[in-house]
Amino acid sequence: MSKNTLYGIFDCEQVLLASVKEIRANNIEIKEVYSPFPIHGLDKVLGLKETRMAITAFIYGCIGLSLGALMIYNIMIVDWPQNIGGKPNWTFYHNMPAFVPILFECTVLFAAHLMSITYLIRCGLFPGGESDSPDPRTTDDKFLMEIVVEGDVTAVKEILTKTGATEINEKDV
Amino acid sequence: MFTIDKKAKNFSMALMAIGLIALTYGFWTDAHRAWPSLLFNNYFFIGIAVFGVFFVALQYVAEAGWSIVLKRVPEAIMGALPVFSAIMLLIMVAAIMHFNHIYHWLHEGIMDPASEHYDRIIAGKEAYLNATFFIIRTIVYLLGWNYFAKKLRALSVLEDKQGGATIHFKGVRVSAWFMVFFAVTSAMASWDWIMSIDPHWFSTIFGWYVFAEWSAIGFTTVLLFTLYLKRQGYLQDVNENHIHDLGKWIFAFSLVWTYMWFSQFMLIWYANIPEEVTYFTARLEVENYKFLFWFSMIINFIAPIILLMSRDAKRNNGRLIFVGCIILLGHWLNSYLLVTPGTLGTHGHIGFTEIGMGLGFAGLFIYLVLNTLNKQPLETKNHPFLDESKNLHT
């Protein structure tokens, strides 16, 4: 049996949302939706799993905190204890309040940067990476729904047209 | 329409009875200790009450739609404001009449160079710290807050009856004025009522610190009442999305409070200037306060950051109630530490006077809020953002 990929193009995100609901109600699996901007509620309608980005953020934050602590401990306590304002400089614990801003900043720096990088890698947005989008108009004013169909495509095409797709393209895989 | 549950009423009455016993006991045994206890408990609860006004005004000026379905809760909280204002006024009048000795700068002869009590530093602040101006300021804050509370409540009730955008925009204007008024008066009230207990010391961040504290406990109280009403079968439009948003606010303001706390602490710790550092030595080098000082800071910070960080936690009612109670306890202890070291020196400790009065105030607060909830239907009508609020997705 041949596999076909259908690209339903939509003009309006509300129509797209309704269409996604309708198509999923008919037990047709949607592979991906491309849109020029985030659509509120699309992830729920598509039934996507919840993002694990928050967990990575927490892990990156912990890494930042630990590395920051290690760094400042090495700089200020081990390597070259400095007497700044008469503050105790032989133990990490006693000088702790002075280190809090550094620990905080390191946590934020690592969490923010590593999370952005993770996001870009997961989306394939690194230098030289190729865009997944099958149609460049999805970066402008069109919304695209990608459906992989095994066998007969007419039924799926019919639903797409019925729910408001302005254009349907087909590609053999 | 909300009807007060018999159990809740009896519960609040019982708490008030304990409070009354503690009040009598406190003034009977040691009035010197009972006054600061009265002050810090009232400071804690007037903060929550005035935060109710701030919450309503904030939604107006930000044109926020999410909170409209639970709007009656902060409105009910501000219904407790008049009583706590009266108690605050009573304490302040008693202070300038020398019935209590909370404020060292009110002592006889402290501004008089000829007197043996003369204090040059305090005398230098006479233009601001004098009894007449002090009591006028207190009256202005209290009257102002109560005026705005009454006004916003009246507008909300009128909106239910009439509807229309005119009333809503009037609410926005009133709220904008309240914001300006509250920005100045909340800071000044914190200087007058709390910071001037240690008159040699001052901190420029103190107003924000107190505001952050009031916000943290205020949002917690709004959340706890909302969950209570939901459990009783009211406020069915409130779903886990609204609860999630309230949870975010609690999380955020607990961290803001910690930020303020730490900004104040670290600068003073680092600079180590005698006139500033006395404030912390009075807390950190006294056995009675040392543990509470770190303990209250840690539970106000660690509990929300660990227990409320994830999305699921902010949608879990049990978790929210647990953290909410911890935050209320932590900030109550912190309020205790704001007042007691400056008034009782090294002799303060938490006993029946403090806990009993705290419970009494809590009972009074619950009673007043439930009473106000009783007066208007819990479901608002006619608010322009009502539909948005009902269809909230977080």
CB contact under 8 Å between A58 and B271, yes or no, is: no
Q: What is the chain A residue with the closest CA to B306?
A: A58
Q: Where are the domains of chain A?
A: 3-36+141-172, 53-122
**What whole-number distance in Å separates Cα of residue B277 and Cα of residue B9?**
46
Can you say how many angstroms the Cα of residue A87 is from the centroid of all Cα atoms in its chain? 44
- B265/chain A closest Cα distance in angstroms: 9
**Sign of the dihedral defined by the CA atoms of residues B355, B360, B366, B368, in that order:** negative
Interface A–B counts its CB contacts (< 8 A) at: 22
Contact of A159 with A12, CB cutoff 8 Å: no
* Beta strand pairing call for A167-172 and A32-34: unpaired
Whether the CB of B272 is below 8 Å from some CB of chain A: the reply is yes
Helix boundaries (H) for chain B? 6-29, 31-61, 72-78, 81-96, 120-123, 131-161, 165-189, 206-231, 240-271, 274-284, 287-307, 311-314, 317-344, 352-373, 386-390
Residue in B closest to A104 by C-alpha:
B259
pLDDT confidence band for A165 (50 / 70 / 90): confident
Whole-angstrom distance, CA of residue B258 vs CA of residue B336: 17
From the list B172, B242, B189, the residue with the least C-alpha distance to B81 is: B189
Tell me the percentage of chain A whose pLDDT exceeds 70: 98
Q: Using DSSP, state whether B318 is helix, strand or coil.
A: helix
Residue appearing with tokens 């920051």: A68
How many C-alpha atoms does A114 have within 13 Å on its Cβ side? 18
Q: Output phi, psi for B230, to 5 deg.
A: -65, -45
Region label for B108, one of left (φ > 0), alpha (ψ between -120 and 50) or beta (otherwise): beta
Q: Compute the nearest-CA separation of B166 from chain A (Å).
A: 31
Digitized pLDDT (tens) for each residue of chain B, 394 residues in all? 788 889 999 999 999 999 999 999 999 999 999 999 999 999 999 999 999 999 999 999 999 999 999 999 999 999 999 999 999 999 999 999 999 989 999 988 888 888 888 999 999 999 999 999 999 999 999 999 999 999 999 999 999 988 888 999 999 999 999 999 999 999 999 999 999 999 999 999 999 999 999 999 999 999 999 999 999 989 989 999 999 999 999 999 999 999 999 999 999 998 888 889 999 999 999 988 999 999 999 999 999 999 999 989 999 999 999 999 999 999 999 999 999 999 998 888 899 999 999 999 999 999 999 999 999 888 888 899 999 999 888 7
* Six token digits for residue A84: 């700044």
CA distances from residue A88 to A77, A85, B14 in whole angstroms, order as listed: 10, 9, 51
Rounded to whole angstroms, the Cα distance separating A171 from A157 reads: 13
- What's the confidence (pLDDT) of residue B60? 94
Interface residue of B255, B259, B266 to substitute, partner A, most A CBs within 10 Å: B266
- Select the residue of A41, A44, A54 nearest B311 (Cβ to Cβ): A54
Q: Are A139 and A133 in contact (CB under 8 A)?
A: yes
Cβ-defined contact of B393 to A40 (cutoff 8 Å)? yes
pTM attached to this predicted model: 0.91
Tokens (6 digits) for A74 = 């090495």
Answer yes or no: is the ipTM higher than 0.85: no
Chain B segment 283-312 residues within 8 A of A by beta carbon are: 309-311
Contact A98 B310 (CB under 8 A): no
Rounded-to-integer distance, Cα B16 and Cα A103, Å: 46
Smallest CA–CA distance from B263 into chain A, residue: A101
User: How many CA atoms does the CB half-sphere of A47 hold within 13 Å?
Assistant: 11
Residues listed for chain A: 173
Query: Under an 8 A CB cutoff, do A87 and B270 touch?
Result: yes
B118 bridge partner residues: none
**A58 vs B: CB within 8 A:** yes
Fold of the domain built from segment(s) A3-36+141-172: Alpha-Beta Plaits (3.30.70)
Report domain extents, chain B: 6-242+340-378
Put simply, the answer to whether B272 touches A40 (Cβ < 8 Å) is: no
pLDDT tens digits along A133-152: 888 898 999 999 999 888 77
Q: Which of A40, A44, A85 sits opposite B272 (nearest CB)?
A: A85
Rounded average pLDDT over A74-89:
86
In whole angstroms, give the CA distance from residue B314 to residue B248: 7
Is A87 in CB contact (< 8 Å) with chain B? Answer: yes
3-state secondary structure of B236: coil
- SS3 of chain A: CCEEEEEEEECCHHHHHHHHHHHHHCCCCCCEEECCCCCCCHHHHHCCCCCCHHHHHHHHHHHHHHHHHHHHHHHHHHHCCCCCCCCCCCCCCCCHHHHHHHHHHHHHHHHHHHHHHHHHHHCCCCCCCCCCCCCHHHHCCCEEEEEEEECCCHHHHHHHHHCCCCEEEEEEC
Question: How much is the pLDDT for A1?
Answer: 56
Q: Does A49 touch chain B (CB under 8 A)?
A: no
For A62-71, the CB contacts below 8 A with 24+ separation are A63/A110, A63/A114, A64/A106, A64/A107, A64/A108, A64/A109, A64/A110, A64/A111, A65/A103, A65/A106, A65/A107, A65/A110, A67/A106, A67/A110, A68/A102, A68/A103, A68/A105, A68/A106, A68/A107, A69/A99, A69/A103, A71/A102, A71/A106
Contact between B269 and A97 using a beta-carbon 8 Å cutoff: yes
Which sign does the torsion angle of CA B320, B238, B211, B83 carry?
A: negative
Cα–Cα distance for residue pair B296/B265, rounded to 1 Å:
14
Q: What is the DSSP letter of B132?
A: H
Exposed/middle/buried for residue B49 (C-beta within 10 Å: 0-12, 13-18, 19+): buried
* Contact assignment for B269 to A100 by CB distance below 8 Å: no
